[in-house]
Amino acid sequence: MRLADSLQILCVASVAIVIAIFLADGGAARFGTPADAFTSLGIVAGLVGTDLLLVMLVLAARLPPIDHAFGHDQAMAVHQSLGKPALYLILGHAVLLITGYALAENVNVFVEVWNMFTSLPDLPLAFLGLALMIGVVVTSLVVVRRKFRYEAWHAVHLLAYLSVLVAIPHQLSVGGLLSEGAIARYYWLGLYAAVAAAIIVFRFVLPVVRSLRHQLRVDSIEQVAPGVVSISLVGRRLDLLGATSGQFFIWRFWSAGLWWQAHPFSLSAAPNGRSLRITVRGLGDASAELPRVPRGTRVSFEGPYGLFTESARTAPRVVLIAAGIGVAPIRSLLETVSFAPGNATVLLRSHSLGDTYLVDELTDLCRVRGAELRIIAGQRPTGVSTWLPADAARAGITLRTIVPELDQSDIYICGPRPWTDAVVRDARAGGVPKKQIHYERFDW
């Protein structure tokens, strides 16, 4: 909790610092005329918007302190929530500055834009960065994202790095706030350097080093259901990874057509120091090709990530709820999570009985460990936000109806985003404190 609080304070402090930089440069006195007011507000919007962009990059850099404090799912939820405010601030930065300069020079905004393009050589790059940012944010909207395959969306999303890079020159060459020799300039460059170092180390260097050290390769592939396979991976000294049940990795399979893509898949069996196992459903171009990966294929990885683990436990009972391929981390948790016989319930949600995966393994584990297994099958009703089948929703059944001891339980939920959100709402309506609800959403 202290770590989470400290990181939140740092985030707020970073915004406060950039505003203080503006004020320390005499910004408070630059509101005397409409032109100065527009220009000053544009500068503040640009500073705060860029700072939020850097915060977003840090949240996506998979830094261990952030993962340990919030978990990857919550960190990325905050990352996504900052996208629109950052874009609006950067757009406001451009509009306000153009308006302010136009008022100061007594010309219309179209003439001012032309003057800026012809007299300030770094401005075209800044506008390119803005256009790239708009593309990234628009493709991140749920209604748009659903039209993309993961591979295409991920490629577009990488443009966020380029949008930040191409905007740097104009920040240093236009205006006097970050002029040569100013303390603010060194702070700003230091901020960029720190973010770049975090991304390079934790997104690239560390994964390469760990992948070379552990030498993971495909050992076997077993078909679980049509389009669903379990892939076993073996390597060297896997106990040193520190992976636990419920966590996930970002995997890259070095075979033809797959080597350039990396995908997140959760462990579907408890790591034992000798092997790792994932269970994958063919939903995209890459995952559909995985059943044909040759035995012995090298695999590189990032991770492990996530707080969807035993360490999050706060209550004596446990309820594990999964939909679709969300059963993978639930199955691995069931193998190792601590509970007394009779104090665990496993709920599998599916459209039909044929859509349940790893059910034989779950049945055996529940029998051995003394957990109750329930399969809830059926189509959800249209126009109603519920995680249950239509007949159950009409009957007024809730999560508390199914598990009366809900408030004495830690609840682990994994499945698609809308479905998971519906389960969380049901649990909260049933009086379960937020600290007892843990979830991973299969989304991107």
The whole-number pLDDT of residue 239 equals 93
Across the range 417-429, mean pLDDT stands at 93
Are 388 and 414 within 8 A, CB to CB? no
Are 398 and 376 within 8 A, CB to CB? no
Q: Would you kindly state where each structural domain of the chain is located, as residue ranges?
A: 2-208, 215-305, 310-441
The phi, psi pair for 256, rounded to 5°, reads: -55, 130
The whole-number pLDDT of residue 321 equals 97
For 128-176, how does the pLDDT look when each residue is reduced to its tens digit (9 = 90+)? Answer: 888 888 888 877 776 556 666 666 677 777 788 888 888 888 888 876 7
**Mean of pLDDT over the chain:** 88
Q: How confident is the model at residue 284 (pLDDT cuts 50, 70, 90)?
A: low
Sheet containing strand 217-225, edge to edge, reads 217-225, 228-234, 275-281
Contacts with 158 (C-beta within 8 Å, 6 or more apart), sequence order: none
330 pLDDT more than 80: yes
The whole-number pLDDT of residue 218 equals 97
The whole-number pLDDT of residue 165 equals 87
271 pLDDT more than 90: yes
444 pLDDT more than 60: no
Q: Which of 22-36, 198-212, 368-382 has the lowest mean pLDDT?
A: 22-36
Higher pLDDT, 407 or 214: 214
The whole-number pLDDT of residue 175 equals 67
For 44-90, how does the pLDDT look when each residue is reduced to its tens digit (9 = 90+)? Answer: 999 999 999 999 999 888 888 888 878 777 888 888 888 889 999 99
- The answer to whether the Cα torsion of 248, 444, 425, 384 is positive or negative is negative
Question: Domain 215-305: which CATH class?
Answer: mainly beta
CATH number for the region 310-441 comes to 3.40.50.80
The whole-number pLDDT of residue 3 equals 66
- Distinct helix (H) and strand (E) counts, the chain: 17, 11
Higher pLDDT, 3 or 24: 24
328 pLDDT more than 80: yes
Across the range 346-362, mean pLDDT stands at 88
Q: For the chain, give percent helix, strand, coil, nearest 5.
A: 55, 15, 25
Higher pLDDT, 101 or 176: 101
Contacts with 284 (C-beta within 8 Å, 6 or more apart), sequence order: 149, 150, 151, 263
Are 327 and 365 within 8 A, CB to CB? no
Domains 215-305 and 310-441 share a fold: no
The whole-number pLDDT of residue 285 equals 60
**pTM of the predicted model, to two decimals?**
0.83
The whole-number pLDDT of residue 156 equals 73
Separation of alpha carbons 417 and 402, rounded Å: 22
Q: How confident is the model at residue 442 (pLDDT cuts 50, 70, 90)?
A: low
111 pLDDT more than 70: yes
